[in-house]
Structure 1
Amino acid sequence: MSDSIPSYFLLIEDDDLDILRENLLYEETVPAKLRVENTTHQIEIGYRGSYTRKFRKRSYTIDFDEEDYFFGARKIHLNAEYRDPSLIRNKLSLDFFQDLGVLSPNTQHINFYRNGVLKGVYLQLESVDDLFLKNRNLPFGPIYYAENNDANFALTRDDKPKKSRLSGYYQACGTPSDDDLLREFITNINTTPPSEFTEKILQYLDINKFFSWQVGAVCTMNNDGFTHNYSLYRNSETCLFEILPWDYDATWGRKVSGGIMDHTYVPIGGKPGNKLCYLLLEVPEYRKIYREKLEEILETKFMVNYMEDKVLTLHELIRPHLLLDPYKKNKIDIFDKEPDVIFQFIRMRNDFLKNQLKLLV
């Protein structure tokens, strides 16, 4: 086997593995060991995801002992990418966001073994937490994960009042007083009169970084990325919120189920359920900023010429390992066609968005 991607070796007792299986839908963790190269780490491991827990190939969250950080991280995520026939969409998306200047988790593909048995190719994702900030020399600030569709920046969901302003959010790091700041942010989004909104929002949100994120979400077409599958970080120096992408496997023309998603499915302004996106694009000067950012990316980065080497390099990197993946090796014919599927999506989505730019005038 090629050594072009690292191998991680999980050592777990059968009884502990049974505990995970018996508590499949719960946030249960058990002790185990993880060997990477010549170092063995003491860890806690549990399943991650929601509906993905029922797949044959499951995803994991791994917590490291606080005195035994793993490459500067106390937590990592191992995604099975089970429904993505290419296994590269998540990484391709998060790397794309980095190209746009958006804070985004680092990722890499690995081979994952459990008790000596190969479980296949996984995608390792960096956890977005205080160490994520420290590793980038960024000011400390609270970080929230948008866990479900309640995280739509509105006071309601499906026309029903939400239980609280913070519904849909989980605080990954921060203090109770930080909750007050997020609550205040969401309140002002929803109660500020239109005549005051243009100036008021500047007190809470990094507009340029938000629109860079929106461009990435719209181009890659993550339908779920507008009301969850993102993180919020409040920079303690600027006192402004920034938004980060998270879990972008259902992108580049594929649905969560793995089926083809029509290239017109997500509008040019993003998913209508995101109230913040909607309100920002109601302001002519903000709409102009977004249009100019999107126009530039459509001419420079969201193009086959720019993405081709990135797609093919990732595809060629994991192909020899996929041939040994017990869950994917029988689908190699589909895998081999995926670059063309992605390239066709880029062409069609690019044309669609260019034709829709007139809606942002």
Structure 2
Amino acid sequence: MLKYEILINPKWLRKLDNDIWNDELVPAILKIGENRINIKVAYRGNVIRDKKKKSYRIVFQKPFKINGAHEIHLNAEFSDVSLSRNKLSLDFFDRIGVISPHSQHVLLYINGYNKGIYLEIESFDQYLLKKRNLPDGPIIYATNNRANFSLLTKKKEIKKRLDQGYTIKYGEKEDIDDLRNFIAMINALNNEDFAKEIPKVLDVEKYLRWVAGAVCVQNYDGFIHNYALYKNGETGLYEISPWDYDGTWGRNLHGRKLDYDYVPLTGYNTLSARLFHFPQFRNLYNEILTSILENDFTLDVQKPIIDGLFETLKPHISLDPYIKTTADTLEQEKKVYFNFIKNRNAYLKKELTSFFKVKSI
């Protein structure tokens, strides 16, 4: 496991600690092996900022890019005794053909103090697009649960702006205007026009693949939060990518167990609800999810992946001062994941059968 060490002037560390909700970056040095990299660093995340083990955003300054990336995230995974749910989820999306950030575990030190095992995750930005040889295009983050593709909030209140819940990561002001038009179109078009026009602005196949992935790993809030919209510069179509998937594989974001049938087959947001009204989109979703349930989200496929990841963590897990995990804990957690996969797979296959008995209005 790679060792990362952040060297930071105590005054800048105090600045971070005096206001943990401040997103302002401060200067520091990141040591990786013999390399010393000038960086800027800040705390990141929402719930995690109140925890003893915090997550970090790191932006490279000199050199400007490392391995093609200008920015990375170091996630604490504080509520995950296996430190694995996020990585397993992102790797799963990558496997099923959804653009997904790559990740790796690292051991982090700050000014010589051991801060534990972190998950380094790529930032979804223009540099990731370039690394993947993907067309340039705007990227917009869904930063809270108002990013539900609706005119209403989760509490059924009318939104003040159609772009509530979104933050532009890469692009221009006009790209937010385009997003507003997209959301207005989802909500305002009649059924005939929606079916005709939606494939002109959304890569429906890739969107439904993303829904299927979130449904399989059962990320409760992933349908209205924790995703990035990317508008492919060649096709002009919106695509979608996951991030922050720690509340998955049978547990919620606090680490508590969830029943395998907690999230419905279709997930939930306004865009999905409209798409599933039409037989052609329901049939496409059926094909995608059926294939994933046969070839990707199975115990035979996922067991060796989970076994391999846990084996790489075992020699280092005791080094994390914040997460009281042992080799035995990992073995117990494996059983949770294996049971979840088996039961969730069977549940989704059963639900698919009844899903297609319901006729569109």
Q: TM-score range by the shorter chain?
A: over 0.9
- Of 97-106 and 154-163, the range deviating more from structure 2: 154-163
Matches within 5 A, 1:15-164: 15-65=11-61, 67-157=63-153, 158-164=155-161
Distance in 1 (CA, whole Å) between partners of 2:81 and 2:221 is: 19
Distance in 1 (CA, whole Å) between partners of 2:327 and 2:334 is: 13
Instruction: Quote the offset at 1:325 in angstroms.
Output: 1.1
Q: Secondary structure at the match of 1:9?
A: strand
Q: Cα RMSD between the aligned structures?
A: 1.1
Matching residue of 2:193 = 196
Instruction: Quote the offset at 1:358 in angstroms.
Output: 2.2
Q: Secondary structure at the match of 2:58?
A: strand
Instruction: Quote the offset at 1:17 in angstroms.
Output: 1.0
Percent identity over the alignment is 45
Distance in 2 (CA, whole Å) between partners of 1:291 and 1:147 is: 29
Instruction: Quote the offset at 1:90 in angstroms.
Output: 0.5
8 Å contact kept, 1:288–1:360: no
| 1:11-59 deviation per Cα after TM superposition (whole angstroms, max 9, x unaligned) | 0111211111111122132111001121111111111111110111110
Matched to 1:130, the amino acid is: Q
8 Å contact kept, 1:12–1:32: yes
8 Å contact kept, 1:76–1:125: yes
Distance in 1 (CA, whole Å) between partners of 2:235 and 2:341 is: 35
Distance in 1 (CA, whole Å) between partners of 2:143 and 2:297 is: 28
8 Å contact kept, 2:317–2:326: no
Structure 2 residue corresponding to 1:212, chosen from 181, 189, 209: 209
8 Å contact kept, 2:105–2:117: yes
Instruction: Quote the offset at 1:330 in angstroms.
Output: 5.2
Matched to 1:344, the amino acid is: N
Matched to 1:134, the amino acid is: K
Distance in 2 (CA, whole Å) between partners of 1:257 and 1:129 is: 28
Matched to 1:175, the amino acid is: E
Instruction: Quote the offset at 1:178 in angstroms.
Output: 1.3
Distance in 1 (CA, whole Å) between partners of 2:314 and 2:325 is: 12
Instruction: Quote the offset at 1:336 in angstroms.
Output: 2.9
Distance in 2 (CA, whole Å) between partners of 1:134 and 1:330 is: 38
**TM-score normalised by structure 1 residue count:** 0.96
Unaligned runs of 5+ in 1: none
8 Å contact kept, 1:34–1:42: yes
Matching residue of 1:277 = 272
Q: Secondary structure at the match of 1:356?
A: helix
Distance in 2 (CA, whole Å) between partners of 1:330 and 1:91 is: 17
When residues 253 and 134 of structure 1 are mapped into structure 2, their CA distance, relative to the original with a 3 A threshold, is same
Unaligned runs of 5+ in 2: 357-361
Matching residue of 1:311 = 306
Distance in 1 (CA, whole Å) between partners of 2:276 and 2:354 is: 10
8 Å contact kept, 1:229–1:247: yes
Matched to 1:53, the amino acid is: R
Instruction: Quote the offset at 1:216 in angstroms.
Output: 0.3
Instruction: Quote the offset at 1:93 in angstroms.
Output: 0.5
Runs of 4+ in 1 over 3 A off after TM superposition: 329-333
Count of matched residue positions in the alignment of Structure 1 and Structure 2: 355
Structure 1 residue corresponding to 2:287, chosen from 259, 283, 292: 292
Structure 2 residue corresponding to 1:225, chosen from 222, 225, 245: 222
Matched to 2:247, the amino acid is: A
| 1:125-157 deviation per Cα after TM superposition (whole angstroms, max 9, x unaligned) | 000010010111111100001000110000111
- Of 172-181 and 120-129, the range deviating more from structure 2: 172-181
| 1:48-83 deviation per Cα after TM superposition (whole angstroms, max 9, x unaligned) | 111110111110000111643121111100001000
Matching residue of 1:259 = 256
Matching residue of 2:184 = 187
Distance in 2 (CA, whole Å) between partners of 1:9 and 1:333 is: 29
Q: Secondary structure at the match of 1:109?
A: strand
